Each structure stands twice: as C-alpha cells, then as structure tokens.
Chains A and B, each alone.
Chain A
Amino acid sequence: MREAVDTPGFLPMERFQQLLDLLSQSGYRCVAPQVKDSALLFETIEHINALPRGIEQTQAPGHYRLQQTDSPRHFSWANGPQALKPLTFAPRENLWYSEVTADGGLRFREAPTETEPLAVIGVRSCDLAALKLQEQHFQGGQVDPYFLARRQRLFLVAISCTHPADTCFCAATGDGPEVRNDFDISLYETDRGYFVSAGSINGEKIVQRLSLETGDPKAFSQARKEVADSAARQSRQLPGENLQHSLFTNLDHPRWQEVAERCLSCGNCTQVCPTCFCHSENDVPDVSGVKTGHERQWDSCFSPGHSYLHGITLRQETSQRYRQWLTHKFGSWHEQYGRSGCVGCGRCIAWCPVGIDPTEELAAICSPSTGKAD
C-alpha cells in the first residue's frame, strides 16, 4: 500500500537551471554528477548543460560502463564510484600542524575546517543512509570537528532512483530506492521534469523561490511507480537482516579461503564503500625542517599496515582481511551502530577488479545449508 501524499510542485526540465542559480545566489557552490573518465563523478556545476543527459549505465561484478541514449533525463542511471563520503570525510586532510619554536619547544595548531557551503545535486537514497551512518561514527561519541564542519555546510538535493544497476540491492537493505528523509530538497524525475519537495527549512527557502507548476497527481503517482518498479527489479538479496551471529560462528568456513584465492586485497571495495571509515594518520614534514603537518588519509582493512602491532602484521592472509571486512560490515556493525554497515549501493561489486560479490559470499557463508546454523 502506498500512503497518500500531496502532489509536489513540478519543475519543467528547461527550468532546472533556476535551481542551480538559486543555490548559487544563496552562497552555495553546486556539485553534480558529470561524465569524467568514463564514470559519473561529482564535479562543480554552473550550467545545466554539464549534467549527463540520456546517459544510462551497465553495472555488473567488476564492470561499469556508460551508454548514451535518446532519453531526455539527467539521472537515468544508478551511481558513480563516489558517494557523499569524500565530501564529508576527506580522502586526505590535515588535522593539525606542529612547529619547532626558537627555544626548542613545540607548538601545535589546529588545521582549519572546511566551511565552504556546498550544494550536492543528485544524491541517492543509499548515499543518504550512508551519510547517516558516518554521522553516527564521527559525531556519535567524540565529535570529529573536521567531519562535522564538512557535514554542516552541505545542502542535499536528493533524487529517487528509477534506473537501478544490476549491482544495486538497496531494497534488500531497506535504504532505497525512494528518498524519504534526511534531504533538503527531494526530486522525482520524469521525461518532462521534476517533482520537487522540501525536507528542511533551508530547502523550503529555495523551493519557495522556484517557478513551480502545479503538479499533476497522476504523473506524480506514475513517477513514484517507476521508483517502486525499480525496487522490484533488484535481484540481489542478503541471507538475513542481522548476520553478526551467523558470521562470527562461521569464522572457520572454507569459503573465506576460496574468496581469498580471487581477492587481490587491493582495497577498492573499501574505497568506494560509502560507510567505510578507517583512516591512518601520518606526519608530513615541511621542507623547512621546523614545521610538520599531521594528516589523515583513508586506510583499508585490506592494507598490511591496518593490523600492524609492535612489529607484526596480525592479518597476514588475504582470507583474514576479507573476513575482517565482511564480519565488520555485516556483523559487528550491528553492535556498534544498531544496524548493518551496508546500504546496498553495490559499488563494491562493480568496482572490484575481479568481481567479488559480497551478497554471494554472505549467502555461501551464512546460509543454513553450508554454514553453521544460527
């Protein structure tokens, strides 16, 4: 059953520029997905012409390709390798600087936080769910001032998905494809334009100034049906909602060894994962010899340094690293943050160079027929 909803106002496609202009006038730099290096990446945008138009995509294990079609739509594809993560948790950033003073002392100075207001166009439902998880991680206990500042400057223009990739399984994790909350503006795309609604006070301020037409309830209901149909087209499933017990009772399952024979331990899955939070800290000395920056950089549980402990690497084997990743993402995450760390975006499947699919691995490890029963 679909709940009764008011029909949002409609922004014809040719007026989409207005949204970019209003955001820009309100002080935001806008970023939107654009075709770059054969993928869709968030890049600065000033004009609607820079948006992909008629681009569709094929994603499969170890496979990501874009195709040009005649469709007038800008968002008729699922996702690119980036979620919101690089915008809130920078791949590399300085935390502080230290300096040797004339008397041989050490002075520490905080690195400035990123505050430039940024509007992100075309945020997917899975990305919003991932952002929420990252907020829990970086703001739930000790507040990370760098993450917080980057998060607070964001204005999120989200869009419900109509063209899931073969790798998508957000319906199985409950994180999509329809955008329901945690946005400033939400869009539903049709061939003619967008149904637009506000989800925050900031969003409302922009929506009020758009020249919207009265939305046609039948067209809106059709737009929502497209989204619902896109959920029904997703085929990947997970063997259960909370796999913590099942995974941790199968730590010796032979499948860990089998997947390790294919896994390159490259860490691509963790780099494209919108919820992975591991990072290393490194000192980067200045050539002057009296100044150094202390920076953090995304790390991966697939790197040998991740499990370094006083001279030894605890996870020497790829099987142990893959197991660390999967038991954390789908297992211990439940205990840490009250839900799985997977939002079903499928990026780890498409961007794995050898096409390992965690949903298949989980089915093999956690299913009652091969694994130990719960």
Chain B
Amino acid sequence: MNPYLPLEAEVVERIQETPSIVTLRLRLTDADARHRFYCAPGQFNMLYLYGVGEVPISIKSGPQGFLDQTLLLDHTIRAVGRVTRALVRLQPGDRLGLRGPYGQGWPMQRARGEDVHIITGGLGCAPAVSVVHDLMRQRELYGHISVVQGVKHADDLIWHEQYEHWAQQPDTRVLLAADEASASWHWHTGMVTGLLDKLQLQPDRAIAFLCGPEPMMRASAERLIELGLGADRIWLSMERNMQCAVGHCGHCQFGAAFICRDGPVFNYPQVRDLLGTRGF
C-alpha cells in the first residue's frame, strides 16, 4: 500500500463562509473508497489540487455528522497560502485529490460521562466543530457541554445559526467572545479566557478540548489549571507544516512529537513544556 497516493474526490458543494473562508463538501468518486473511509473528529485529510500541491485540512464531518462520513466530507479552508488560495476557488463538479484520514483525533472514549468544555479561538476552527457535531449526535453519552468560542472581531464569527442551535440543546451552553464588539454583539467583549470563570467547572468530572492560536490555547489551559482542572484533562489540537502526513517528511516535529502522526490532538502535559517557546 502506498501511503502517499491520493484518491480522486469531487466538489459536491461550495459554501462561501466569509470572503476568505470556504467550505468544500467533497465526495470520493470511487464507491469502494467511500465505503472504506472512516474518520473520527479531530482527524485531517491531505487535499491535493492538481498541479499546485497538497495541504492538510481538518475534517469538519459531513452534513449529517460523522455518521454520514462515507458519503460526504466537509473541509473548511481559509485562503492563506499558495495552495489554499487556489483550493477555495474550486467549484461544484471540480475534481481534486484526497488522502486520509490522518492523525489522532479527540479522545471521545475518555470524554464519555464527563462534562465536555470546548474552547476555541479564531476563525472557523473546524476541529472543534467536528467534535461538537459528534457530541450532539450521541448527546446522552456526555454530561454538560459548553462551547466557548472567541474571535477577534464580532464580524469574524461564522456559523451563527449553528451556535444558536447548540445553545438550545439540553444541558448545553454556548459562550461567545469578541475582542472587538459590533453594535449588535450581545455576547462577551474581551478575550476568550475571560469566559472561563463562567464555565461552572467541576474539575473531577470535566474534560476540556482546546483549539485555536497557540497563545490562546496556552492561556486557556493555564487558566483552567488555576480553576482546578488537572492538566491531563486538557486536550488541544496542534498545527505545523505537514507535507507527508505519515511522520516521514519531518516538518511537523514539535520536540519529539510528529504532529501529523502523534497528534494533531495532544494531551496538554505532552506539549506543555514547549508550547509558547519561540522557534518550535
């Protein structure tokens, strides 16, 4: 088996989330490959654009959640680099390459029976969305759920309806924060860490999933520890340059960890020492 060879996929739908963020809904064209494909929240695929190159993109799950993953796979992409700027221009019917899924996703087994606090920062944050989808699908397996999302400017928030929808689910809270509010912003103004005191954290039955810029994850994790949560109850999703996705090309190394293979989701103590060290 060749771990580098992509499969053909087709763009089924293109959703313009913001001027620079697009969700591509993809379907593997080969029926057998669709059938075999299984992924978990927090994992990623390598998407290949013909003649341009490959990039790692989180799997946001399909329209019906991960149950539907054999049919359709959503990938939310922000146009920032050479490949992603071209990828977001794809239209329904266009073909691309896809290989995956890769990496270790969120510890769903470990979260069973616990309160799950999902704390995210920045735009989109597909790894966090994928996990909320999965929690909601089997809502009865978990305790209280809180979704805490921070953005720089109120206008950056995407998926409003989704947050509204989650907020109405039983025993579920949604807390949003924007560093810069707009006139209609009725949520918290300030950093996402400012919301952590409102979590009603019960340290002996809570688990926290963090996703976003590293300074935000680090500040949040340290604040949660101050609030009594054990470091080993905190998990976070990391990002680095990835070209092979199987731990061979060397770019994603973070200390001894290959983020593509040993992560992208890590238990906080695994990365705590190096997180925030410039140059790693």
Docked-complex contact B273 and A248, CB < 8 angstroms? yes
Does any Cβ of A come within 8 Å of B255's Cβ?
A: yes
Our pick among A108, A251, A301, A311 for the contact of B8 (Cβ within 8 Å) is A108
Docked-complex contact A292 and B51, CB < 8 angstroms? yes
On whether A311 and B81 interact (CB within 8 A), knowing A105-B29, A306-B241, the answer reads yes
Nearest CB of chain A from residue B47's CB, rounded to whole Å: 12
On whether A281 and B80 interact (CB within 8 A), knowing A95-B4, A299-B249, A308-B241, the answer reads no
A-B CB contacts (within 8 Å), total count? 126
Does any Cβ of B come within 8 Å of A142's Cβ?
A: yes
Our pick among A96, A305, A311 for the contact of B2 (Cβ within 8 Å) is A96
Does any Cβ of A come within 8 Å of B185's Cβ?
A: no
Docked-complex contact A320 and B246, CB < 8 angstroms? no
Please indicate the chain B residues that have their CB under 8 angstroms from the CB of A18 in the complex. Answer: none
Docked-complex contact B29 and A141, CB < 8 angstroms? no
A4-12, A39-47, A206-214, A272-280: which one contacts chain B? A272-280
Does any Cβ of A come within 8 Å of B7's Cβ?
A: yes
Docked-complex contact B50 and A324, CB < 8 angstroms? no
**Bound CA span A105–B97, Å:** 10
Please indicate the chain A residues that have their CB under 8 angstroms from the CB of B106 in the complex. Answer: none
Does any Cβ of B come within 8 Å of A190's Cβ?
A: no
The proximity string for A residues 1-45 relative to B, scoring 1 for CB distances below 8 Å and 0 otherwise, is 000000000000000000000000000000000000000000000
Docked-complex contact B240 and A278, CB < 8 angstroms? no
Docked-complex contact B251 and A98, CB < 8 angstroms? no
Nearest CB of chain B from residue A331's CB, rounded to whole Å: 8
Does any Cβ of A come within 8 Å of B235's Cβ?
A: no
**Bound CA span A350–B280, Å:** 28
Docked-complex contact A105 and B8, CB < 8 angstroms? yes
Docked-complex contact A283 and B251, CB < 8 angstroms? no
On whether A110 and B8 interact (CB within 8 A), knowing A105-B29, A248-B273, A281-B243, the answer reads no
**Bound CA span A294–B48, Å:** 10
**Bound CA span A278–B241, Å:** 12
How many chain A residues touch the partner (CB < 8 A)?
A: 56
Docked-complex contact B51 and A279, CB < 8 angstroms? no
The proximity string for A residues 310-332 relative to B, scoring 1 for CB distances below 8 Å and 0 otherwise, is 11001101011101100110011
Docked-complex contact B95 and A301, CB < 8 angstroms? no
User: Interface majority SS on B: helix, strand, loop or mixed?
Assistant: loop
Residue of A nearest to B247 (CB): A141
**Bound CA span A184–B1, Å:** 28
Does any Cβ of B come within 8 Å of A145's Cβ?
A: yes
Residue of B nearest to A105 (CB): B95
For chain B residues 229-280, which have a beta carbon within 8 Å of chain A?
239-241, 243-244, 246-251, 253, 255-256, 258, 261, 273-274, 277-280
Does any Cβ of B come within 8 Å of A53's Cβ?
A: no
Does any Cβ of B come within 8 Å of A218's Cβ?
A: no
Docked-complex contact A307 and B244, CB < 8 angstroms? no
Please indicate the chain A residues that have their CB under 8 angstroms from the CB of B243 in the complex. Answer: 279-281
Please indicate the chain A residues that have their CB under 8 angstroms from the CB of B240 in the complex. Answer: 307, 309, 314
Please indicate the chain A residues that have their CB under 8 angstroms from the CB of B74 in the complex. Answer: none
On whether A248 and B251 interact (CB within 8 A), knowing A98-B48, A283-B52, the answer reads no
Does any Cβ of A come within 8 Å of B3's Cβ?
A: yes
The proximity string for A residues 228-258 relative to B, scoring 1 for CB distances below 8 Å and 0 otherwise, is 0000000000000000100010010000000
Docked-complex contact A278 and B250, CB < 8 angstroms? yes
Docked-complex contact A317 and B97, CB < 8 angstroms? no
Please indicate the chain A residues that have their CB under 8 angstroms from the CB of B3 in the complex. Answer: 142-144
Please indicate the chain B residues that have their CB under 8 angstroms from the CB of A277 in the complex. Answer: 248, 250
Nearest CB of chain B from residue A346's CB, rounded to whole Å: 22
Please indicate the chain A residues that have their CB under 8 angstroms from the CB of B278 in the complex. Answer: 320
A residues near B (Cβ < 8 Å) are 95-96, 98, 100, 104-108, 110, 137-138, 141-145, 244, 248, 251, 277-283, 285, 292, 294, 296, 299, 301, 305-311, 314-315, 317, 319-321, 323-324, 327-328, 331-336
A-B contact pairs, 23 of them (CB 8 A): A95-B2, A95-B5, A96-B2, A96-B6, A98-B97, A104-B93, A107-B8, A110-B2, A142-B247, A143-B3, A144-B248, A277-B248, A278-B249, A279-B249, A280-B249, A281-B53, A281-B249, A294-B54, A306-B250, A307-B240, A319-B279, A320-B279, A335-B255
Query: Given A294-B4, A321-B279, 12 other A-B contacts at CB below 8 A?
Result: A104-B93, A144-B3, A248-B273, A279-B248, A281-B53, A299-B251, A308-B81, A309-B240, A317-B279, A328-B253, A333-B256, A336-B258
